[in-house]
Amino acid sequence: MSTFDEAIEARRVGEGRYEIRPDDRFAIAGAVNGGVLLASVLRAVLDSSPHPYPIATSAHFLRAPRPEPAQVEVEWLKQGKAAATARATLVQGGRPMLETTVTTGALGDPDDPGGLSWTGEPPRLPPIGECQDIQDARGPRVFSGYVKQVDIRLDPATVGWVHGQPSGTPEMRGYFQLREPREPDAYLLALAVDSLPPVVFGIEVVGWSPTVELTWHMRALPAPGALRVAARCRHVSGGWFDEEAEVWDAAGRLVAQSRQIALVGRTSRS
C-alpha cells in the first residue's frame, strides 16, 4: 500500500460510518491538504455507491482537522440508475470539519465515435526535466511534509515568486504525480485539483491561503503517467480569491476540473 493510500484509508465501522485519520505527512503549514481529506471522504462514499466514480464533488472546509482519529458519516440522498448523490461529513471530536455532497456515476468511453465530443487544448508545458521541483521552492513553511510526498514540477514561467520576482499574473502550471510509484485514479485526481501552490503567489507570496469551498468534476479515468495541472484566477479582492484548475493526463485528455474560493493569506506587509 502506498503512503497516499495509507493516508486516505477509510475503515467501515458501522452503517454509513467510517473511521479515518488525517495524515500529517500531507500537511502544509500544519494543516492536512484538502485534496487528501477529500480523497478520504470519497473512499467512504464509493464503498457503498452503486456507481464507480465521483462525477461531481462539492466540499465546504469548515475547520482544519488534527492528525488524530476522525469519522466520515455517509447519507445517501438518492440512488438512481444513472447517478447517485450522497452527503458525507468528516467529523472529529463531535464537530464537523468537512461537509461534502458527492454525485457518483459511470464514465463513458471518451473515444466513442458515436458520442458527442469537444474539448479545449491541454496546457503547454516545457519538458518535465526543465521544470522546477517544488521541493526546491522556498515559500511559506516550504509546504511542510507535503512536498516529500508529491512530485510537482512547476513551469518556469510561473515560479518567479520562488526568487522573489512574481510574474504579476495569478496562475500556476506544472506536472503532478506522487514521489512513490502509483498510477493516477479518482482519488489522486481529488488531490491533483488542489495540488499546486496558491495562484496568488503569482502576484505576491502570502501565508497559508485556506480553501473555503471547492467543487470538482471527474471527466475521465486518467491514463498512466504524470498529470498536467493548470490553475488560474479571475479575481482577487476583499481578502478572497477564486481559482480554476484543469487536470490533463499523459494521453492529452481532460480528466478533471475544479473551482474554489479561498482566503488570501497574510502578506509580509500586514
Q: pLDDT by residue (tens digit) across 163-210?
A: 889 999 999 999 999 999 999 999 999 999 999 999 999 999 887 789
Say whether 231 sits in a helix, a strand or coil: strand
Q: What pLDDT score was predicted for residue 28?
A: 83
Between 135 and 45, the higher pLDDT residue: 45
Structural domain that includes position 76: 3-107+123-263
Is residue 115, in this structure, part of any structural domain at all? Answer: no
pLDDT of residue 267: 61
Q: Please check whether residue 34 lies inside any domain of the structure.
A: yes
pLDDT band at residue 215 under the 50/70/90 scheme: very high
In a domain, residue 39? The reply is yes
Mean pLDDT for 139-156 is 80
- In a domain, residue 33? The reply is yes
Q: What is the pLDDT of residue 138?
A: 58
Give the mean pLDDT of 219-239: 97
Q: What are phi and psi of 156, to 5 degrees?
A: -55, -25
Helix, strand and coil percent figures for the chain, each rounded to 5: 20, 40, 40
How big is the chain, counted in residues?
270
Confidence of residue 109 (pLDDT cuts 50, 70, 90): confident
CATH code for the domain in which residue 139 is found: 2.40.160.210
In a domain, 118, yes or no: no
Q: Which of 120-124, 204-208, 219-223 is least confident?
A: 204-208
Whether residue 158 has pLDDT greater than 80: yes
pLDDT at residue 207 in the model: 78
Q: Kindly state whether residue 182 falls inside one of the protein's structural domains.
A: yes
Question: Helix (H, G, I), strand (E, B), or coil: what is residue 268?
Answer: coil
From CA 199, how far away is CA 205, in angstroms rounded? 10
Measured between alpha carbons, how far is 105 from 50 in angstroms, rounded to an integer?
A: 8
Task: Answer whether residue 259 is part of any domain.
Answer: yes
Model confidence band, residue 270 (pLDDT cutoffs 50, 70, 90): very low
Residue 174 lies in a domain: yes
Looking at residue 66, what DSSP letter applies?
-
**DSSP assignment, residue 123?**
P
E-strand stretches of the chain: 11-14, 17-20, 27-28, 31-32, 53-61, 70-79, 83-92, 95-105, 132-133, 150-154, 171-178, 211-218, 227-232, 236-237, 240-248, 254-263
What distance in Å separates the CA atoms of residue 42 and residue 54, rounded to the nearest whole number? 7
pTM above 0.75, yes or no: yes
Domain count, the chain: 1
